[in-house]
Chains A and B, each alone.
Chain A
């Protein structure tokens, strides 16, 4: 008798979310089995990787990743076009870092203008991220959502402290929305419930359970992501079926393995390779855990993860 592979079937399904418009629009989610186990179910879409850019030069990024964009990062429009045209980015994530009160404290109107300029310059879908300042994001993301009206963007992140205004803006301008909670699966579920109770369609939500870099709690992120997937697929928990986001770059490129110099730790090898490997490894862990959308920084790391996705698909 020949060996028959045991198969597990799920009663639930990850929601299929589209973003962007025209022929460059993308879909994420839609699978009814665990990541890459296509023999057990149907996987409609591959994980998508968005290139992270920001509205001011990334002076606080480590050299390894700053250098990759040194000729273009002075201006978000040039940077976005470079990612799209030269690096063949499928999606771009623009972080409005300058609006943070501790940075340039730029106004919501300034942010709206940047969004409009970038959207006019590119064709690939745009993810619009605030500066992760609860109060400021509540005004910045509202203006950004309005400026991006009609572009079917993903905006975020809505958190417990500011979700109401951001949800209303995403609803009014028909965008998708990232809901972020702080590394706690029960809080992630609760936030999704609160957002849908405002009349926001769960099929437009993306869950960000919060990220952590390899060596700095990745296993905890991994476990939360995996449990979200299992609740959505196995328990058919509708509140846990939105696609998952892994905001990898911003967490990876500040840990010591990506910044410590070769003279300080010669046994760790070349700094440039080390940082890229760290970002690629963190991202790979997350797609195995069930992440549908990744936000990453270094082109080489992205290339590596794209290759892994292709091999696993």
Chain B
């Protein structure tokens, strides 16, 4: 399982303040602890970042990669900020991941950037027509994005299809549609398409003390269907332990009494 550390997000007050003050310390610390906890990518979510977006993203990428030798997942809707981030990214630690394109023509520019900078890209299976109704509709959108990616010269193995996880407390039936989509996505190509989810969306809106449990159980089901990557919190030990245990059951890790410590 590829773990994309989600903690560096403009939504978090501490991160937002550090961004505004251009204070690298708190951001570097968050990046480093996630990396040490097992994250393979660090997500850098600067949101729309309309003002000084390019300068902000460049600063973020450089600050983080000064302390963390891992690739980053660049998460912004601002295409020029994204391009600045891709330019600043140190590919010595791995290729960057763009978050994200979709079937919305406004997001096709992201595919262009992925091709130009040899980056991997998350493709959210939504289009202009609103939220997908079920797994089949998600697959239809995925197929369209895949065709679009081919036009832009993005290889299919560089795409992570994202079925879009919706909150269980208001759209309960969607939980299984997304899981089914993970399974179906892989059948869209040989070798199978890669998949990714933003895990914590599932427990959005539920009481805080229940979020962990819901995330853990949902992750297990997704992994069983072959999920490749998750944007999640690697500092959540119970979540990480669940992931490692699921990997043992799936035969992806060799069991040893101390497997949780590895």
| Chain A residues at the B interface, C-beta cutoff of 8 Å | 185-187, 189-190, 193-194, 197, 227, 231, 235, 237-240
**Is B258 a contact partner of A231 (Cβ separation < 8 A)?**
no
Contacts of B255 in A (CB 8 A): 186, 189
Bound form: Cα–Cα A185–B262 in Å = 16
Per DSSP, are chain B's interface residues mostly helix, strand or loop, or mixed? loop
Q: Which of B253, B256, B262 has the most CB of A within 10 A?
A: B256
Closest residue of A by beta carbon distance from B257: A190
Contacts of A189 in B (CB 8 A): 254-256
Q: How large is the interface on B (under 10, 10 to 19, 20 to 34, 35 or more residues)?
A: under 10
Q: Which of B28-63 contact A (CB under 8 A)?
A: none
Question: Apart from A193-B261, A231-B254, A239-B254, what 20 extra A-B contacts exist at CB < 8 Å?
Answer: A185-B254, A186-B254, A186-B255, A187-B256, A189-B255, A190-B256, A190-B258, A193-B256, A193-B258, A193-B262, A197-B258, A227-B254, A235-B252, A235-B254, A237-B253, A237-B254, A238-B262, A239-B256, A239-B262, A240-B254
Bound form: Cα–Cα A227–B258 in Å = 19
Contacts of B262 in A (CB 8 A): 193, 238-239
Contacts of A239 in B (CB 8 A): 254, 256, 262
**Is B253 a contact partner of A186 (Cβ separation < 8 A)?**
no
**Is A235 a contact partner of B253 (Cβ separation < 8 A)?**
yes
Closest residue of B by beta carbon distance from A191: B256
- 21 A-B contacts, Cβ less than 8 Å apart? A186-B254, A186-B255, A186-B256, A186-B257, A187-B256, A189-B254, A189-B255, A190-B257, A190-B258, A193-B261, A193-B262, A194-B258, A197-B258, A197-B261, A231-B254, A235-B252, A235-B253, A235-B254, A237-B253, A238-B262, A239-B254
Closest residue of B by beta carbon distance from A231: B254
Closest residue of B by beta carbon distance from A188: B256
Bound form: Cα–Cα A186–B255 in Å = 6
Bound form: Cα–Cα A194–B262 in Å = 11
